[in-house]
Amino acid sequence: MSFYLYLLAGFGAGLLGGMGMGGGTLLIPVLTIFLGVEQHIAQAANLVAFLPMAAFSLSAHKKSGLLRTDGVLSVVIPAAVTSIAGGLIASLLPAMILRRFFGLFLLFLAFRGAAKLKLTP
Amino acid sequence: MSKLSKKFIIFAANAKTYFKMVKVNSKRLKSALAGGLTGAVNGLFGGGGGMVAVPILKNMLGYDDKQAHATAILIIAPVCAVSAIVYILSGYFSWQVIIPASLGTVAGGLAGAALLQKLPEFIINITFIVVMFAAGLRMLF
């Protein structure tokens, strides 16, 4: 039963992600709020779930010629290094604390999105 | 003319070039620092790095909006793979969650990409803000 619930959660998060909303970030609140998944487990699931989606998107973007690579390495390499540090810090934090930080991060993204909103559709 | 003053004249003539070199390096340095922030956020929160990477590509490397969204995935994918390994090695791993959630995400993502063509951007943005705000509040308290 829970297999289908997780499948549904992934579908909902992927649906919004596919429309360009926050990548896979929404899978985490869906898993923790509605299905009671532990914060770290949900974050790990989001990281892995993003990979096949990224492969699909990248091949589509490559065809449409939107991918650029100039200057990308100078972003990717430091990002990969600090992501190890970020992951280690997360693994040391208690789930409740990490969950609150994550909540703050979502609020920040929501406010940033609202600030950029154009009121004339 | 003394050797020293000759050297000085050459230096002064090349000043513009030196300045350009420093400028290019500071652009590199800025994008490296911003990349570091992207990775730290993505590692700590298990996602969301793309939301940091898109403005970097637009503002620092001069990408347009669509290019930035496409290329952000190229940046985030290896970063996610690296942090996923850290989580897995730390013991935070559940096949029961990951397999169905990944399958669902791919299916939903394909459906979402198709829907994207049909819905107005304004509606998508409002939905995003409301969902993120509600989820953020729920997780904070």
State pLDDT tens for residues A55-111: 888 888 888 888 888 888 999 999 999 999 999 999 999 999 999 999 999 999 999
Do residue A110 and residue B132 have CB atoms under 8 angstroms apart? yes
Q: Domain of A107?
A: 2-116
Judge whether A121 lies within some domain: no
For range B66-79, the mean pLDDT:
89
Residue B1 has pLDDT above 70, yes or no: no
For range A16-26, the mean pLDDT:
69
| Residue closest to B138 by CA, chosen among A34, A90, A9 | A34
Do residue A4 and residue B86 have CB atoms under 8 angstroms apart? no
| Residue closest to A68 by CA, chosen among B44, B132, B62 | B62
Structure tokens at B95: 């096949």
Residue A46 has pLDDT above 90, yes or no: yes
* B92 backbone dihedrals φ, ψ, rounded to 5°: -90, 85
Structure tokens at A32: 């923790």
Do residue A103 and residue B140 have CB atoms under 8 angstroms apart? yes
Judge whether A78 lies within some domain: yes
Report how many Cβ contacts below 8 Å link chain A to chain B. 378
Could you give the number of structural domains in chain A?
Answer: 1
Q: Could you read off the pLDDT of B14-47 as tens digits, one per residue?
A: 877 777 767 667 878 888 999 999 999 999 999 9
| Residues of chain B neighbouring A82 (CB-CB closer than 8 A) | 35-40, 43
Judge whether A71 lies within some domain: yes
Specify the pLDDT at position B56: 85
Please say whether the beta carbons of A49 and A27 come within 8 A.
Answer: yes
